Amino acid sequence: MGDPAGAAHHMLTVLPSAERTGPGVMALDLVRWLHRERPGWSHSTLFVGAGGDLDADFAAHGPTLVAGPDAPFREGRRGSRRPLNAVAHRRLRRRLAALGPIDLAHVHCAGSMRAHPALPAARTLLHVHELAVGLDLHLGPVARRHLGAADRYLAVSEAVGATLVDRCPTAAGRLDITSEMADPARSGGPADRDALGCAPDAVVVLMTGVRNWRKAPELFVRTALAARHAAPEMPWRFVWLGGAADGVEAAVAATGLDDLVTFLPHHHEVGPWLAAADVFLLTAREDAHPISVIEAALAGLPVVTFASGGAAEQVRASGGGVVVPFPDTAGAAAALVTLARDATHRAQVGRRGREHATAHLVTEAVAPQVLAALERTAAS
């Protein structure tokens, strides 16, 4: 039996936490879009691990809950914690029942499947936003056991889909691929280099994100050094927005490289930085499909990225940048030099990326595909 077009659902959005991460931002954009396009739907939100910045935004569209210990991570040796976990899941199921009848669960991130045993008798769409780090390294035993329990799956890039099917072969026949999406309003803003402390003639290379092994800030610095070595006449300025101070920042400061590389705290409004930058550089060794790369393309920035995940797929599909093998920092630097030296070429590449992103990667283009996947799930 098919799901009639426009049938109203009570959808439970399930997120790992309410922190302002890519999946959370994407889920919030979707809920806002659904609020406009499907006004008959009602929404509730479950944060599996912890609350955070986005809690109030989701609360504007319906009740929110934080599961905390009621969504256990571990099972213990040989499943020794399973009775305790069952008690926790029953507690969470009672709390969810107080939200009213829920018939559709949109679960973001594989790790959130640790809450699956507590979900109401609703159809479940698992929206996978991660590659091997999320599907192997950080996936807890409870979530791993329930990874195959969703009714349908949505992966944010071809690479994510392949990685998921490799770990969960039963997902193969129930999988759709839709990219991450971005609100173009976040990529706008005036280019005021003065206010950002950038010289008017600087070649500004931007990267945004947390700083840890996955995003590889050390390769960002190595690429900066290689670019300066290859083109010392260029007034390079490499800026990384986001993340807490780390060993890379300390090493840059201790070795007098801060005229070349600047680390700044997270900026909620990244638009002015995108407007001020010349090129976006993604040094992540693994990234499912970062929203920052879509925002950069929407701002008309060429993207230089290592060959990993959705960013590489986006650049290859759009011609809006350069993909180099991981961890070829000299290759990334060579691509930056080519783009920096030829403003016309840079503008052409940026335009291609913007046209592709505007057509395929904005909320208005992607949200209908997610809605179709949700409706297929409801009808499954």
Partner 1 sequence: MTTTVVLVPPAGSWDAPALTIEVARGLAASLPAAVAITWWAPGAEDAWLAAHDLTATGLAGRVAVARDTTPPPATVTVHTGLAALDGRSADHGRPDRSSAVGIGRDGVGPFAVEDLVAVVSGMVADATDV
The residues that touch partner 1, with contacts defined as CB under 8 A, are 132-133, 136-137, 212-213, 216-219, 221-222, 225, 246-248, 250-251, 254-255, 257, 285-286, 308, 325-327, 329
How many helices (H) and strands (E) the chain has is answered by 15, 13
The least CB distance from residue 227 to partner 1, in Å, is: 13
Residue 285 DSSP code: S
In the complex, least distance from residue 79 CB atom to partner 1, rounded to whole angstroms? 20
Alpha-carbon gap, residue 318 to 349, rounded angstroms: 9
Q: Which is nearer to partner 1, 255 or 344 (CB)?
A: 255
Residue 133 or 231 having the CB closest to partner 1: 133
Give the burial class of 9: count Cβ atoms within 10 A of its Cβ; 0-12 exposed, 13-18 middle, 19 or more buried: buried
Q: Which of 164, 161, 160, 172 is nearest to 147 (CA)?
A: 164
Q: How far is the CB of 44 from partner 1 (least distance, A)?
A: 33
Q: Give 13's contacts (C-beta < 8 A, 6+ positions apart).
A: 27, 30, 31, 43, 44, 45, 46, 58, 106, 108
**DSSP code for 260:** T
d(CA 85, CA 59): 28
Closer to partner 1 at the Cβ: 298 or 336? 336
Strand order of the β-sheet with 203-208 is 261-264, 236-241, 203-208, 279-282, 303-306, 321-324
Nearest distance in Å: CB 240, partner 1: 12
Q: How far is the CB of 313 from partner 1 (least distance, A)?
A: 16
| CB of 84 or CB of 133, closer to partner 1 | 133
Q: Report in angstroms how near the CB of residue 218 gets to partner 1 at its nearest.
A: 4
Is 244 in a helix, a strand, or coil? coil
Residue placing its CB nearer to partner 1 in the complex, 130 or 295: 130
- For partner 1, the closer of residues 244 and 359 by Cβ is 244
Residue 165 or 260 having the CB closest to partner 1 = 260
Q: What is the closest distance, in whole angstroms, from the C-beta atom of residue 347 to partner 1 in the complex?
A: 31
- Closest to partner 1 by CB, 153 vs 326, is 326
The 8-class DSSP code of residue 3 comes to P
Q: Report the C-alpha gap between 347 and 376 in whole angstroms.
A: 40
For residue 257, the minimal CB distance to partner 1 (Å) is 8
Phi/psi for 17 (5° steps) reads -165, 175
